[in-house]
Chain A
Amino acid sequence: MNMTQTLNVPMSTSGSSVKTDSGQLPAGNASTNIKLSASDVRVFYGQAEALHGVSLDIVKNEVMAFIGPSGCGKSTFLRSFNRMNDTVAGARVTGKITVDGRDIYDPSVDVVLLRAQVGMVFQKPNPFPKSIYENVAYGARLHGLAANKSDMDEVVESSLRRAGLWEEVKDRLEAPGTGLSGGQQQRLCIARAVAVSPDVILMDEPCSALDPIATSIIEELITELKKNYTIVIVTHNMQQAARCSDRTTFFHLGDLVEIGDTAQIFTNPQQKRTEDYITGRYG
């Protein structure tokens, strides 16, 4: 654990970003509970800086929501936590990000294992062109999590159960995953992530391509998953953030503007920009 070191980093060097609440929790606050920690994270696409020094801590088993107008860097920040920015040509991350206190940008870190630990669900459901079973078994196979067929069956079943999809698909596991409805596909993607037993699940606008019913199913699921996982969810939908997150962070133009308990952010925002945003003055 290097909490002190993390805390020594200045909050934000970007002058425009004034925060009433520090992104990072005070040292006394159950330091062992901090799951993800970012300090002064900047992300560049080529020469352009998309994220201007963001620092925050995310606690175990909480649901953290990232809100903010389109293009403010939510996805960019989220992708830094499982190093998916590495796959974007020209993207560069500076600053420090730790998972369980370990610097994930350290050269000794195995990205493959990091991504198993920090799972991700994308904006558009992206099941593989394989059967439902194979979709879920995919990651488990890659990481050798099942010794034999019956182990794998168990992994698949429990993952699908956790994603709340088992009852709907148990009779057609061999059907193609792409044949499911949008909401089912997204839950399949969640099951797929769950199957490699991560501790953190990153969700980038997981419901933006779904209808309201599928959305509410996923929201219930998030509340359920919270028991076992730390969840970071990017959302455009403020009701969604209000309904299913514990804490909310508001980003604007690459800056972290405000972070706080969800109830407080939505009822009593401390920053003018936050208030303007949640009251719909800009979107």
Chain B
Amino acid sequence: MNNFTVAIALLMLAALAYQLGLTKGRGVVALAGHRATHSRPGYHGALAILRAAVPAFVVYALWVVFGNQVIHSLVLESIPAEFLPQDSLQQKVMLQRLSNIASGFGVLGDAQPYELAAADVMRQFQGVGETIVTALMATVAALGLFWSWRTTTAETRARNKVERAINVALIACSAVAILTTIGIVMSMLGESLRFFQMVSPTDFFFGTVWNPRFATMGAEGQSGFGMLPLMAGTLMISFIAMLVAVPVGLMTAIYMAEYASSRTRSLVKPVVEVLAGIPTIVYGFFALVTVGPILSSIGAAIGVDIRATSALTAGLVMGIMIIPFISSLSDDILTQVPKTMRDGSLALGGTKSETIIKVVLPAALPGIVGAILLALSRAIGETMIVVLAAGNSPVLTANPFEAVSTVTVSIVNQLTGDQDFASAQSLVAFALGLTLFVMTLILNVIALVIVRKYREQYE
């Protein structure tokens, strides 16, 4: 019984159920007439699927999720105590080995007699389990079909029931997204708590030295985990990026929404949006091999010491990367400002630019602020450009011409290469990740609040 056969069987079952429901529904209509029948035959078909195929699927899903656990515990019980490892990790390894033997996959080394016996037990339980589940699915499906067939009458509100099922399905789908987010946060939270057992939060949040590679594991009062230099680097680069992206992006949006002819617009807009499709690693080496050296030589020419890989380089290129986010979103928002608003200003003798500055932009402001904050959280989370172009030097500096490092870069550094996931050196990545997450969350909440405030005021 593999997933593919089950899927085919369930689909066939669904088709059968639909046909039966449809036939019954048509029969009802033929008897009672169109007017007196609550739901059209198609709905009876759909309802039959809900009653027969869905429960069968649920039975199978439960088996897939919990079946192995049950079998494994039964198998473990059957193993003589002297061979049974105490450690749960060892037990897992053993079970893996047993299921390999049971499925005839083959294992390293010779299988011990007790292992062969246990594998046999496992195979038996699996066989029995599958038989039971198949029988159960068939029963449930048959009951569902029978129930549908017997209870379908002219009054059956199949239409409303299908509607409710769709509702439930939609809620379930959105729950997946929410639950995933919660899961991510919980796992980050758990690892971060482990980290904070080794390093005090004060040292982490307010420490000014970031040098985790050389801290000796297990030593009391670990140092070198201060995230301030990273946070400063992140904020400085994001700030430079916004300095580039906000004016350029807004101007582009205004040009496209207000001045460009529709032909120019249909040409310019896709081209700008292509910028958003370039992989950030490409921006990264663009920054590294082109922008950095240029900035450096400009600096040399005017007598300022600018490093090739610096906050400025990374910020500039990141700003270019973000332009399309701001311009494209703002353009959509500007074109949504109703024409009547513009007409009101023009009819009072306002020029085009006066109208844009005094009426269109203020009306679009909430949306534009939202776009900017969205772009900002993009900038804060951006990784590849800074890995390549920021210089990876975690020092606390206010000089944008210096090399810096960021939170994201440090996460990459701490998690690449051979890592012991029980060490503070690796766990710190989760604390950093959580900090980033909270920051972007706060930004998004602020964006929401601003947008709502303006909406209340203006609508």
Contacts and interface: CB of A to CB of B under 8 A. Distances in A.
Interface of A: 82, 84, 87, 111-116, 119-120, 122, 124, 126-130, 138-139, 142-143, 176, 178, 189, 192-193, 196
B358 A84 contact: no
B450 to A, nearest CB: 15
Nearest to B342: A87
Given A87-B343, A126-B340, 20 more contacts: A87-B346, A115-B346, A115-B347, A116-B349, A119-B347, A122-B347, A126-B338, A126-B344, A127-B344, A128-B359, A129-B341, A129-B363, A138-B345, A138-B348, A138-B350, A139-B349, A143-B349, A178-B459, A189-B344, A193-B348
A178 to B, nearest CB: 6
A175 to B, nearest CB: 9
Contacts of A129: 341, 359, 362-363, 457-458
B136 to A, nearest CB: 62
A122 B345 CA distance: 11
Interface residues of B, number: 21
Contacts of A139: 348-350
A124 B13 CA distance: 58
Interface string B179-211: 000000000000000000000000000000000
B340 to A, nearest CB: 4
A87, A119, A122, A143: residue with the most chain B Cβ atoms closer than 10 Å: A87
B354 interface: yes
A113 B349 CA distance: 6
A114 to B, nearest CB: 8
B458 A178 contact: yes
A178 B350 CA distance: 20
B351 interface: yes
A139 to B, nearest CB: 4
Interface of B: 338, 340-351, 354, 358-359, 362-363, 457-459
B455 to A, nearest CB: 10
A168 to B, nearest CB: 20
Contact of A138 (B340, B358, B457): B358
B348 A115 contact: yes
A142 B354 contact: yes
A143 B340 CA distance: 21
Contacts of B338: 126
B263 to A, nearest CB: 12
A115 B355 CA distance: 14
- The residue among A114, A122, A126, A193 with the most chain B CB atoms within 10 A of its own CB is A126
B348 A116 contact: yes
A84 B343 contact: yes
Contacts of B354: 142
Nearest to A110: B349
A193 B344 CA distance: 9
A112 B350 contact: yes
25 contacts: A84-B347, A87-B342, A87-B346, A112-B351, A114-B349, A115-B347, A115-B348, A116-B349, A122-B344, A122-B347, A126-B340, A126-B341, A128-B344, A128-B362, A129-B341, A129-B362, A129-B458, A138-B345, A138-B348, A138-B350, A176-B457, A178-B459, A192-B344, A193-B347, A193-B348
Minimum-distance CB pairs A-B, first 10: A139-B348, A129-B458, A116-B349, A120-B347, A115-B349, A126-B340, A126-B344, A112-B349, A129-B363, A142-B350
A142 B347 contact: no
Contacts of A196: 348-349
Contacts of B359: 128-129
A112 B351 CA distance: 7
A49 B203 CA distance: 77
A118 to B, nearest CB: 9
Nearest to A131: B457
Contacts of B458: 129, 176, 178
Nearest to A179: B457
A149 B351 CA distance: 23
A192 B345 CA distance: 10
A138 B354 CA distance: 10
B338 to A, nearest CB: 8
Given A129-B363, A129-B457, A124 B340 contact: yes
A122 B344 CA distance: 8
Contacts of A193: 347-348
A116 B345 CA distance: 11
A76 to B, nearest CB: 14
Contacts of B457: 129, 176
Q: Which of B338, B342, B346 has the most CB of A within 10 A?
A: B346
A114 B347 CA distance: 9
A124 B363 CA distance: 17
Contacts of B345: 128, 138
